[in-house]
Chains A and B, each alone.
Chain A
Amino acid sequence: MWSRFISRRVLQLIPVLLGVSFIVFLTMHLTPGDPVEHMLGQAGRVSQQQVDELRSYYGLDRSFAVQYWVFLSHAASGDFGISYSHQGRPVASIIRERSPATIELTLFAFLLALVLAIPAGVIASLRPQGAFDRIATVSALIGISLPGFWLGIVLMILFGLRLHWLPISGRIALGMAPETITGLAAVDALLTGNAPAFWSALRHLTLPGLVLAAPMAAMVMRMLRSSMIGVLEQDYVQFARAKGLPETMVVGKHALRNALIPTINIVALQTGLLLSGNMIIETVFRYPGLGKLAVDAIGAADYPLVQAVVLIYAGSYVLLNLGADILHAVLDPTVRPT
């Protein structure tokens, strides 16, 4: 039962990824810009022969269909080609270099959002329309109304340039980078027992992470609060109270567990948005991750690099949803696949 469900969903991944890659390929090819022009930049006595040489080397002189087919067949075996804007360096290598930063930021934002949203949602639901609830609701509303790029700039000005509390660029203070094991600075610092590096990494993650997490925290909090309020009215909760169970157990063990179920979908949805919000945040903070890489690559008409990044984003999104569906099914027997 499970294996069929999962394999069916995983198979559905493929047409989605194909569709996404096709759209990107098409759009990029409609771009009048020529990646070779970018490579040559402000070239001097460049001859048409030199241009043609480069175009032929990168396979740009072939038809759209041929190029797409070449891309697909190579991608299937894990070869994503070479980057134009990185002077022919392999795409896989470039992505490998930059993805730890994005993974770390996304993970941090994800955890931060949950750490902020879940307790807030629970506490708010305990006393609806109470003081805490009102503050939380208003904050959440503001959270989803904030333009991310603006919040980033405001926080940069306030906490970075005025108060000097937090750094506004980079991943870690100079010279403090721990030994790379996973590539995630904070995790590596923990793994090697390097406390100062850990705090430095965390401090650098704070501003971009906060901005990235804000909308997700807001939505999750609202959803959880509403869900909890509904659950707390249910019979079995009253029953548990009547049985004399302590309030924390009632809330924590019974109510919360059930209230979390509809929240999972929101979490999945929002995490997907973390991936795309990522690009703007990384551009605002000049954070050296995949998002910034993608934005720069599109500007340089670097098809292979853009393709690869898009596939990663799309793939992550689909996997995320799959995970959410599974978690949902696991926690709620009523929606299990039969």
Chain B
Amino acid sequence: MTQTLLDDQLIGTTAATAPGLLRLLARNRAALVAAAVIAAFLLMAAVAPMLASHDPNQQRSESIRVPPVWQAGGSPRFPLGTDALGRDLLSRIVYGARVSITLGVIVVLLTMIVGTGLGLLAGYFGGWFDAFVSRIVDVLLAFPFLIFALAIMAATGPSLTALVLALAFKGWVDFYRVVRGDVLAARGAAYVTAARGLGASTAHIIFREILPNVVPPIIVVATLRMATIIIAEASLSFLGIGVPPSIPAWGTMVSDGRADIATAWWIATLPGLAILLLVLSVNLFGEGLRDALDPRMSL
């Protein structure tokens, strides 16, 4: 599992304006292509029922392990072939996008809210709260993600809620650190002192003054975390403890195809390609965002 580097790089932000952001992004052609790919996946996920020519769960005992159309024995009826139960791979991949994207968005939003909230509080108030949360962060980081996920899923059985919890368990830390760092830096900034001098309440300072400046790095982190979450969910599904089997998910498909890698290689390989493509695009786009929003954050 990958984790994007963010700590030492985030030492401040520039409050980018929307048109300025777009202009900067437009200069980065790779990011634009990536954005297009992401949009394509989103579209695919949204209109899956119309796009897929077959029911992804439809089993066909007479069309088992049909190769993709470009191989001998393939058929245009199943452009990417079928799996061991005769299910159309292309349809399953299209539907799989739904799972990955939906879960990814939910988990990222959840971790964003938790991490940002904690980061704002810890950064602004400091003291024992900050120290306490830092302790928790230390413990969490030392914790192998997979073990916790496995244990949770073993404890609760196949459940989407548990899956979301398992995925969100460690994810908020990145948000927390970024926000906390920025808030700490902002605490001494001129505009904050000014606001306080003018008699603004703490809540106002946090939410109206500091938070807007912290939004750009949050967006970057969110995008990059999305990539990690998609891979994490696929990994859990691969291990059999992710999404239930009645819902087509890319990780599950790779796992299903494992028994046939000697003969029907496409069952395991093609869904993984979808994962790679989506995650690559999300990473590219996220980095484009990072370059546009704050070049100092870039690698």
Q: What is the interface of chain A, defined by CB distance below 8 A to chain B?
A: 12, 15-17, 19-20, 23-24, 27-28, 30-33, 141-142, 144-150, 153-154, 156-157, 161, 215, 218-219, 222-223, 225-226, 262, 265-266, 269, 272-273, 275-277, 279-280, 283, 294-295, 298-299, 301, 306, 309-310, 313-314, 317-318
Contacts and interface: CB of A to CB of B under 8 A. Distances in A.
B137 to A, nearest CB: 10
B139 interface: yes
A149 B234 CA distance: 9
Given A31-B154, A306-B147, A147 B284 contact: no
A42 B154 CA distance: 20
Task: Please provide the 5 A-B residue pairs with the shortest distance between their CB atoms, ordered closest to farther.
Answer: A150-B272, A19-B139, A27-B151, A314-B142, A145-B280
Contacts of B151: 24, 27-28, 31, 298, 306
B3 A269 contact: yes
Contacts of B141: 272, 317
Contact of A279 (B7, B146, B155, B283): B146
A139 B143 CA distance: 29
B154 A299 contact: yes
Contact of A16 (B4, B139, B234): B139
A147 B7 CA distance: 23
B241 to A, nearest CB: 9
B143 A32 contact: no
B5 A219 contact: yes
Nearest to B34: A141
Interface string B253-270: 010011001100100110
Contacts of A283: 239
A295 B236 CA distance: 12
Nearest to A154: B269
B144 A313 contact: yes
Contact of A269 (B5, B227, B268, B287): B5
B276 A147 contact: yes
A273 B275 CA distance: 20
B140 to A, nearest CB: 9
B135 interface: yes
B231 A147 contact: yes
B207 interface: no
Contact of B272 (A28, A147, A314): A147
A306 to B, nearest CB: 7
A154 B275 CA distance: 13
Contact of B283 (A145, A265, A273): A145
